Amino acid sequence: MKLFATIYTDEDVSKLVATLLRARGFDVTTTSEQGMLTQSDSKQLAYAASIERCLLTHNRVDFERLHLEYMTAGRSHYGIIVIPQKNAYEIAQRVGILLNTLTADEIANQLLYV
């Protein structure tokens, strides 16, 4: 059992968010660090699942659809966290609270809004 979820940010999420979450001790990687810039949302989610990371995004509509597709097909992912476009400090604070509250297993296959 993994206690803390590890995070993969999509390209719309500020790199500062990753920096701030790392400063709080969380394991975070970004689309640019993984060479995944400009890939489709479905490829981003599949990639996040393949590296066992929860995807952090601002893109509610597309990822709600993808989550439903995964659940309908019986596929697994490591969680999707949807956050409104706010300043990076507020995003890092909200996501940090969530990651300190729920285990990686509790986040897996969930679509969460913070």
Q: Look at the chain and report how many structural domains it folds into.
A: 1
DSSP classification of residue 10: -
pLDDT at 1: 63
Interatomic CA distance for residues 34 and 83, integer angstroms: 21
Q: How far apart are CA 2 and CA 42, in angstroms?
A: 25
Query: Residue 3: its pLDDT value, please?
Result: 83
| 6 is a domain residue | no
Residue 64 domain flag: yes
On whether residue 58 sits in a domain, the answer given is: yes
Structural contact between residues 32 and 11, judged by C-beta atoms closer than 8 angstroms: yes
| Rounded alpha-carbon distances, angstroms, from residue 100 to 6, 15, 26, 62, 76 | 12, 21, 10, 26, 22
Q: How far is 75 from 12, CA to CA, in rounded Å?
A: 25
Which stretches of 27-109 are DSSP H helices? 41-50, 60-73, 88-101, 104-107
Bridge partner residues of 81 (DSSP): 56, 112
Enclosing domain of residue 89: 30-113
Task: Tell me the helix, strand and coil percentages in the chain, rounded to 5.
Answer: 45, 15, 40
Mean pLDDT by 10 residues, the chain (114 residues): 89 96 97 97 98 97 98 98 96 97 97 97
Output the pLDDT for position 60: 96
